[in-house]
Structure formats: C-alpha cells, structure tokens
A and B are shown apart, each in its own frame.
Chain A
C-alpha cells in the first residue's frame, strides 16, 4: 500500500510539472490554433539561462525563475513577431513547420554553443531536501515546482475568466474579425498570448534545473508530452490540460513501476490514442 502511495505521489508530482510545461502550449493552441513546435526548445533555452545564472552568478533557481520567465516572455514576443504572425492566415500546418524549423535552429544553436554535455546544477538551496512522512518521501524541489504549476494554472485560469484582458483574449479566440469590430487590437492580443505562453514555459525552465540535467535535447521529450497533454485535454481547455497532465503523470508512473520502465511511454502514448478514439476532440474539447 505504501509503495502504491509513493508511486501515486511521484506520478502526481510529475504530472504537475507536465502541466506547468503544457499550460503555455494550451494557451496558444486555444487562442490562435497554432502548435508551437519550438515550445520544448523555449524550455531548454530557459533552462540553460537558469543554469548559467546559477553557475556564473550564483543565483539560485528559486530566484532565477523570474529572469527565466521574462526571458521566455521576450522570446515568445520575438518569435511571434518574426515568424508566427506570418503563418496565421495560412493553414495550421504552416505554423507547425515554421516553428519546427525554429526549434531546429534553437536546439542546434545550443548544441553548437554549449556542447551536447549533460549539465547538472549542484549546490542549490533545495538540493537533496525532502519531506519524510512515515515511509513516504516527497522531494522538495519537485514539490515546489508542483506548487508553482498549481499557481500558474490557476493564475492563467483567473486571467482568462475574470479580467477584461482575459475576455478580450477569449473574444479573439472565438472570432477574430468580430473581436476586431468590437475594438480589440487582436494583433496585440495574439502577441501578448504568445509571449505569455513563452513566459509560462520560461518559468518552468527556470525551476527545472533544480533536479534535471540540462542538455540540448531536453526539450524534445517534454514538448512531445506537452502536445499529447494539450490534445488530450481538448482544444484550448486549460482545465482539461491540467487534468490530462495529472493523468499522464500517473499512468507514466504506474506503468513504469508495475509493468516495466521501458513501457512507460508506450503506455502514455497509447493512452492518448485510446482517449481520442473515445473523444476525438479531447477530454474537455467541444
């Protein structure tokens, strides 16, 4: 029973981290129907930023996530203005391919600059700290990241539902032309949404070097899982993405423990195929 609880806790912690990475993606997909293929590479770039800040400046990730979030915001802004805005009037595939090209540039740019070595940050404040309750162990870095994930998803949800800006974003996502006629500067809204998405993934990248090695390929798997989560949650549904992330985290952890570690991603990807058979627009999609 204790093992089961421990595996469940690990699954939830993992799922929360996935939710943090996927929340930004869910935003862009929902508002402008764009899959940002470079999402994982934004994450990787933010992780490198935090790593170098900690390595050379001695700034702890618990502080550096602010800088990483700002960096993600600017990166998102820039990428939208330079690339994505030109794809919006083409088919959805155009943005996917253009951002894929971008992800190649970012990934190999980091490979060129920083070499493919795995870099592990040591001496952070939370390193090795854990909460022990009976026989259960909860590692503190993961717990803190999970709390951030919860806060981030709730903040985004409140922003979308309760503020005037959020209403403008929703209006833009429903009908761009009508929103423009209502006096909403949709181009500005879309830029802001993309930048916000970059900020979310930037914060995730700011926290993750606390317990994950940084290397140029780190974004690939995360972005793949983030795609699954967003699609499984349903078209632009923040809550759907959150539950899908928890589900994927749990399935991954159960399959890894009770079946075999190699099968955990087989289970995760099969789960997606099964879910979309049952609901072709995702769990919360319509």
Chain B
C-alpha cells in the first residue's frame, strides 16, 4: 500500500516558518487595514467634496471609484474571504480537505431565509439555529467520514454535497427547487435588509470577516491551534503525544461549519433569494478550496489574499467580457500555475518579497 497518510493540507512539504517578528508585522498590517476599511465608505464624502469644491468636472473620477458596484465587489471580497477562512480552519490548519462546506453554507442561508420568508420574523433566530444545525450536521457527517483517508475522504465529501443538494431540491417545507424569495419588508439593522444602500452591508461583511479572522488569529497562538497543526502533520504522531486526533478534527469541523453557516446567512440577506443549486453545489464548495489554495493554504492571510485577487478578476472580467466563460478560463489557468509554480500561494509571494526587503 502506498503511503496515503491523510490528505495533508500543505501542498509544499516545507511550510513557511513564521517568527514572532513577522507575526507582529502581520498584526500591525491587519489592524491598519481594518482601520482603513472602516473609513473607506466615508471617503466618498471626502472625494465628493474634493470633486465639488476643489477640482471641478474633469477630475470627477473619484466618486465612481466608490460607486455601488465597487462596494459590491468589496462586500464579495469580505464574504468570500470570511468563508474561505472558515474552511481554512479545517482544510488548511487541520489538513482535512473537505469539499462539503457548501452544505453548511446552504444550511446557514436557509436558516435565515426560512426565518424571514416562512415565519415573517427577523433573521436572527434563523441565523443562530442555522449555525447550530450546521455544526450538528457537520459532526454527524464527519464522524464516519474521518475514518476515510486521502481521496476516499475527498470523494465522500463530494457525495455528501450531492445528497444534500438533491434532498433540498425535493423538500417541500423549504420550497424545494423553487427556493425562497424575500418579500419587500422594512429596512434596518434589525431585519438586516437594505434595498438601496450597500454601505450597511459593507459594514456587516467587514464585521463578519473581522470576527472570523480574529478567531483564526487567536487559534494560531493557542493550544487548540497547535493541536490542529499537529494532527495535520501526522495524526499518529499527534496521538502518541496525547492529542485525541478524532476529537480535535471533530471540534475543528464543528467550529468551521458553524462559522460557514454565518457566512451563508449573510449571503442570503444580501442576495435576497436562495435556492439549492445556488448555495449547495460542488461549484460553491470548490470556491472555498480554491480561494484558500490560491491565497495560501494554512496561513492567516491566505484567504484574504485569494479573495482579493479572484473576486475582482471574476467580477470585472464578467462585466467586460459578458460572462461567456472567458473569466473562468483565466481563473482555471491561474489555479494551474499557482499549484505548479507557487504551492504556497500568493501568501508565499508576499512573504518572499518581505524577506528580500529585510535582507537589503
């Protein structure tokens, strides 16, 4: 038997070692970025003022820069990097490559959706119920699946997505294949719905992403995070040192699934419509994996960098070439190149740049 000891998350056998110096630099950049993103929508007022009072008409480009389309792209970047970061906990840090995360995403989306559409309530009870349901279902699915190794595990997660997708399509309680369409209701933070402004969604997505990045940053330097990486590098060795690998994997999966469900809830509140293929499909599942791998699997910044490159690429190529598949051809090509040439992803490129700078 060839040695298939687990689907190791790291594409490169030698992971980047991050010293405490690079850690504090990365924290510094992170907080700076967060502050910048917090004031970014306010800048449009500033730009507007500059445009109106200082430079008149010919320079009127600034306001376009912060148009609602630009905000939309930013919201998607935040949402996708939050989702991928949730996946990164189990896929990157713990090394269990799951292609089943769209199931949890879908459950979260349906939680909020059912709460608003079927019961006419605010989404929040559905959000909480969805997150708990996703964690519970993750535990139930993963327990048998973690017995499997390598490709057998990956294919089992594919199978789970297909089963859930088809069951949701014929489940009358949640409207089956028709999906849930949001009615027009009152706007506001209580309902978490806005119809002609994106700024609130922007802050919502930013808050979600910040929360998840803080959780992962916390894990990186705490006991549980070390357990996760120990299990990734070798479950048998970790067990010999007293780490209960099954328990670690299960808790990581439950955490990851719950957070993924939160992202799903945000997605449905932003999209105002959900049907099974939209949230529970292999394509959706692969988004989680690809963004993380492209950005840098098992690193704190990987999911953000991946989303920062992929989402604008997708959105703007679709806008310029009218979505006839050209954007996805480029996307596929980039994946091939990154996997072959730069297994540490964009994160690897960035940290290499830092290293050469330090030497100078």
Seen from chain A, the residues whose Cβ lies within 8 Å of a Cβ on chain B are 29, 33, 35, 83, 86-87, 90-94, 96-98, 100-105, 107-109, 111-112, 216, 220, 224, 227-228, 231, 235, 260, 262-263, 265-266, 269-270, 272-273, 276-277, 280-282, 286
A-B contact count (CB 8 A): 136
Task: Say how far B317's CB is from chain A's closest CB, in angstroms.
Answer: 11
Residue B329, interface by CB 8 Å? yes
Q: Is the CB of A224 within 8 A of B340?
A: no
- Tell me how far the C-beta of B296 lies from the nearest C-beta in chain A, rounded to whole angstroms: 13
Q: Which of A227, A277, A282 contacts B144 (CB 8 A)?
A: A277
- Docked pose: A97 CA to B154 CA in angstroms: 12
Instruction: Say yes or no: B343 contacts A94, CB within 8 Å.
Output: yes
* A108 pairs with B326, CB closer than 8 A: yes
What chain A residues lie within 8 Å of B170 (beta carbons)? 260, 262-263
Given that A33-B2, A104-B335, A282-B152 are contacting pairs, would A269 and B340 also be in contact in the complex, using a CB cutoff of 8 Å? no
Q: Is the CB of A93 within 8 A of B335?
A: no
The answer on a CB contact under 8 Å between B335 and A100 is yes
Given contacts A92-B150, A273-B159, is CB(A101)–CB(B335) below 8 Å?
A: yes
Query: With A29-B151, A101-B336, A108-B332 in contact, do A90 and B11 touch (Cβ < 8 Å)?
Result: yes
Minimum CB–CB distance for B73 against chain A, Å:
21
Binds A, one of B58-66, B161-169, B247-255: B161-169
Please name the 7 residue pairs, one residue from A and one from B, whose CB atoms are nearest each other, closest first: A104-B332, A101-B335, A108-B325, A105-B332, A269-B159, A111-B325, A101-B336
Would you give the shortest CB distance from B232 to chain A, in whole angstroms?
11
Q: Could you say which interface size class chain B belongs to?
A: 35 or more
A86 to B167, CA, bound (A): 39
State in angstroms the CA–CA spacing of A268 and B170 once bound together: 17
Q: Is the CB of A91 within 8 A of B11?
A: yes
Q: Is the CB of A108 within 8 A of B328?
A: yes
Q: How far is the CA of A273 from the CA of B152 in the complex (A)?
A: 10
Q: Which residues of A contact B331 (CB under 8 A)?
A: 101, 104
Report B1-24 residues with CB < 8 Å from chain A CB: 1-2, 4, 7-13
In the complex with contacts A93-B8, A101-B333, A262-B152 CB distance below 8 A: no
Say if the beta carbon of B339 comes within 8 Å of chain A.
yes
Cα A111 to Cα B327 in complex, Å, equals 12
Q: How far is the CB of A107 from chain B (nearest CB, A)?
A: 8
1/0 per residue, CB under 8 A from A, across B145-158: the answer is 00111111011101
Which of A96, A97, A273 has a CB less than 8 Å from the CB of B156? A273
B324 within 8 A of A: yes
Q: Which of B154, B282, B286, B326 contacts A112 (CB 8 A)?
A: B326
